Amino acid sequence: MAEAALRALEVFASPDRLALLLAGILAGIVVGLLPGMGGIVAVSLILPYVFRMDAVAAVAVLTGALAVVHTSDTITSVLIGAPGSAASATSVIEGHPLARQGQAARALSAAFLSSMIGGLLGALGLTLSIPVARPLVLSMGAPELFMLTALGVSYAGSLLGKEVRKGLLSGLLGMLFGLVGPSPAAAQVRFDFGSLYLMDGLPLAVVALGIFGVAEVVNLLAEGGSIAQAPGLGRGWLEGVRDVLRHRWLVVRGALIGIWAGILPALGATAGTWMAYGHVVATSRDRENFGKGDIRGIIAPESANNAVAAGDLIPTLLFMVPGSASAAILVGALLRYGILPGPRILTEHLDLVYVVIWSYALANVIGAGICFAASPALARVTQIPFAKLAGPVLVAMMLGAYQASQELGDLVTLLLLGTLGWGMASAGWPRAPFLIGFVLVGPMERYFVITKNLYGWTWLARPGVWIIGAALLAPFVWGLVRWSRGRGSRSASPPSGSAPARSALDVGVSAAVLGGFALAALLAVGLVPGARELPLFVALAGCGLGAVQLVEALRGRTGPAEGQLDPNRLRGGAIILAGLCGFVGVTAALGFLPGVAALTLWVTWKLARMHPGWAVAYTVAVAAGVHALAGLLALHLPGGRLSL
């Protein structure tokens, strides 16, 4: 084996192949930077060229692109607060606050280093697990897969925030949105309101971008000023490195979680990242700082999301069961070269498997190096008045969302979920449980139904189920022990100092959420058996909790403290959201470029208060940039009814 590994390394001695790997890496980095676009866009972008190369080069360039998407997506998440891809939304939660505190450099260097090490550990894990991977994957039956998704959901328990009820409602709401679309076990589409767009469910990229990205950008714009509230970039580069060294075991744990999530076809990159994040929060003693910029909350997930892609290669190469759409494309490319993934690949094409692993490892190192080198310049972005950046940022988000299914529905979904995310963020509702609920509800329901139908009740007797069950319960038992030991010593957590008063926004969000659950409950009753059980449960639980929440909100017992809600900022946010509605309207009527022009002009002239002449010049430049980018990356732009 070692011999095959070395022979595969020789492949990269040729400058041509190294150049191709580099091209793949560059493509991955650029696509990762663009908000909402992930590996699948990167791979689709280079695929037309791939089929003109030889097998080794093709594999190298595809793997290279896939490997680095989750390195560079962090940049957008940290600096702008819009997730560079769905799997890096955790870095919006922890990294973006650091950028706002003027510590962008520290956050980025910690993220890149963890990404790189996570990727390398992933490659190592891939190498080591090749001999045992088949039995390992086959040992996980439907009951174990179900328990693993339940474990992921339990990690969300540590992310519920101070107001547990809101956290639970947020998770239930995410599950409800995740249930839109085809039911896994019955031939029925749920909550589609007769719309074809909703028939396949909501695209994850759009949901992540809406719930996290829109709210951050709107708030930044409404506040005015630049992203970093503190002057200077911070000399954080070394500090970030030191953070990673200090928390080196977190990097390893994150990578292990990521590899597992990749190996199991049920989970995927986003779930793996969130599980790593939940795991860090759950196992940390001091949790006060999470959500406000805790470096540990960057390190573990960033390590995990680079390791996931390595784990994903195991079912892809050994079973021809790709865990993601981008891995499916890799399978397609291999087939085209007559290389058949499956049990025989280890005997017939072992060298190629090592080419994949080496490409993966090299790409992680080179990609992190490039991101490191580019970041000081990029981090300066946080010093510019944000209103001047907002035009292109908003446009890039819309463009990213639209690549999900190329329907106007993508933009409408982005806007609606953006409004929801903004309302939640402003009224003190945690958004992390929402995304976890959204991502995991599908596999959880799927594997529960399969388990129930295949095993009846006997699944509860399987040892794997007991082991995972123990892992699931351990944090709760541990928490109970700690609580009984140190009762009273830890400050009574209910927010005591600042007594919250009734906030109209919190009442509004609570009422909207309750209304949503009530509507869902009504609709769920009409579904066929087999499709309705989980939606009904989620909706009824949401109705119950939501009713309590609404009452408490009306009494003014929940919600952000009065001082935290600046009415000017809220009004500003509402105006900007209205402006975005206008953008979608113009796009629907006239096409994307007129929409881009109108939006950019409005933002630069009215919000950034540029001189009208400059505003027009800037707008023209942005529109031309969008046009050029779309041409280069072969992206499609929404066309209007009166298409221009």
Restricting to residues 385-414, name those near another protein by CB under 8 A. 405-407, 409
- Token pair in block for residue 531: 């499709």
Scanning 180-188, 213-221, 500-508, 544-552 for contacts with another protein by CB under 8 A, the matching segment is 180-188
Element (H, E) at 399: helix 386-402
Tallying the residues shown for the chain, one arrives at 644
Q: Which of residues 526-545 bind another protein (CB under 8 A)?
A: 528-530
Could you tell me which of 227, 202, 34 has the C-alpha nearest to residue 629?
34
* Residue 326 lies near another protein (rule: CB under 8 A): yes
Between CA 483 and CA 491, with CA 487 as vertex, the angle to 5 degrees is 100
Which is nearer to another protein, 531 or 610 (by Cβ)? 531
Residues of this chain, 125-154, that bind another protein according to CB under 8 A: 137-142
Q: Binding to another protein by residue 636, rule CB under 8 A?
A: yes
Q: Which residue has the tokens 């954080």?
A: 236
**Least CB distance to another protein at residue 135 (A):** 10
Q: Is 183 in the site for another protein (CB under 8 A)?
A: yes
Q: How far is the CB of 366 from another protein (least distance, A)?
A: 14
Query: What is the C-alpha separation between 245 and 184, in angstroms, rounded?
Result: 44
Q: Which stretch binds another protein (CB under 8 A): 196-204, 249-257, 292-300, 375-383?
A: 196-204
The least CB distance from residue 30 to another protein, in Å, is: 5
Tokens of 609: 């208060």
Q: Which amino acid is present at 357? A: I
| 422 CB-side CA count, 13 A | 27
Is residue 200 a contact residue for another protein (CB under 8 A)? yes
Measured distance CA(271)–CA(153) in Å, rounded: 9
Amino acid letter at 28? G
With binding defined as CB under 8 A, does residue 232 bind another protein? no
Contacting residue, 147, 280, 331, 398, with another protein by CB under 8 A: 331
164 within 8 A of 545, measured Cβ to Cβ: no
End-to-end CA distance of the chain: 59
Residue where the block lists tokens 């959880």: 444
Q: Which residues touch 78 (CB under 8 Å, ≥6 apart)?
A: 91, 92, 95, 96, 98, 99, 104, 107, 108, 111, 298
Interface pick for another protein out of 15, 338, 463, 497 (rule CB under 8 A): 338
Least separation in angstroms between CB 189 and another protein: 8
23-62: contacts with another protein (CB under 8 A): 23, 26-27, 30, 40, 43-49, 51-53
Place of tokens 């928390």: 247
Q: Site for another protein (CB under 8 A): which residue of 1, 128, 164, 199?
A: 199
Q: Smallest gap, in angstroms, from Cβ of residue 321 to another protein?
A: 4
Query: What is the DSSP-derived secondary structure letter of residue 634?
Result: T
Provide the pairing of β-strand 181-182 with 189-190.
Answer: antiparallel
As measured in angstroms, the least distance from the Cβ of 87 to another protein is: 17
Residue whose tokens read 């009224």: 427
Smaller CB separation from another protein, 337 or 605: 337
Q: Does 453 bind another protein (CB under 8 A)?
A: yes
How far is it, in rounded angstroms, from Cα 376 to Cα 522?
53
The three-state secondary structure class of 339 is: coil
- Total of residues contacting another protein (CB under 8 A): 75
CB of 443 to another protein, least distance (A): 8
CB of 567 to another protein, least distance (A): 40
Q: Which stretch binds another protein (CB under 8 A): 108-116, 208-216, 317-325, 588-596?
A: 317-325
Q: Which of residues 6, 19, 136, 481 is near another protein by CB under 8 A?
A: 19
Only one of the segments 288-296, 445-453, 472-480, 482-490 lies at the binding site for another protein (rule: CB under 8 A); that segment is 445-453
Determine which residue in the list 7, 235, 344, 380 makes contact with another protein, applying CB under 8 A. 344
Only segment of 227-235, 480-488, 497-505, 525-533 that touches another protein (CB under 8 A): 525-533
Q: 3-class DSSP state for residue 586? A: helix
Closest to 294 measured CA to CA, from 493, 434, 159, 171? 159
Q: Minimal CA–CA distance to 161: which of 300, 304, 278?
A: 278
Least distance (Å) between residue 324 CB and another protein: 8
What is each CA distance from 28 to 89, 135, 244, in whole angstroms? 18, 33, 24
What is the closest distance, in whole angstroms, from the C-beta atom of residue 607 to another protein in the complex?
A: 29
Give the nearest distance from C-beta 80 to another protein in angstroms: 20
- Closer residue to another protein, CB minimum distance, 450 or 581: 450
Question: x/- binding map, residues 542-581, to another protein, per CB under 8 A?
Answer: ----------------------------------------
- Interface with another protein (CB under 8 A), residue from 265, 297, 559, 594: 265
Looking at 247, 296, 446, 532, which residue binds another protein (CB under 8 A)? 446
Select the span of 7-15, 273-281, 485-493, 523-531 touching another protein (CB under 8 A): 523-531
Nearer to another protein, 245 or 454 (CB): 454
Return the beta strands (E) in 297-429 as ranges.
Answer: none
Number of alpha carbons in the 13 Å side-chain half-sphere of residue 519: 13
Kindly tell me which of 465 and 610 has the beta carbon lying closer to another protein: 465
Rule CB under 8 A: is residue 467 a binding residue for another protein? Answer: no
Q: Is 350 in the site for another protein (CB under 8 A)?
A: no
Q: How far apart are CA 582 and CA 226, in angstroms?
A: 25
Q: How far is the CB of 314 from another protein (least distance, A)?
A: 12
DSSP string over 44-67:
HHHHHHHTTS-HHHHHHHHHHHHH
The one among 101, 127, 188, 284 contacting another protein by CB under 8 A: 188
Least Å from the CB of residue 326 to another protein: 7
Instruction: Determine if 343 is a binding residue for another protein (CB under 8 A).
Output: yes
Closer of 606 and 636 to another protein (Cβ): 636
- Joined tokens for residue 198: 């909703």
- For 470, the token pair is 């123990």
**In the complex, minimum distance from the CB of residue 319 to another protein, in angstroms, rounded to a whole number:** 6
Q: Binding to another protein (CB under 8 A): which residues in 425-444?
A: 443
- Residue 46 or residue 610: which is nearer to another protein going by CB? 46
- The yes or no reply on residue 373 touching another protein (CB under 8 A) is no
Distances (CA, A) of 280 to 94, 249, 254, 409, 643: 12, 11, 8, 36, 49
SS3 per residue for 67-131: HHHHHHHHHHHHHCCCCCCHHHHHHHHHHHHHHHCCCHHHHHHHHHHHHHHHHHHHHHHHHHHCC
Region class of 639: left (phi > 0), else alpha (psi between -120 and 50), else beta: beta
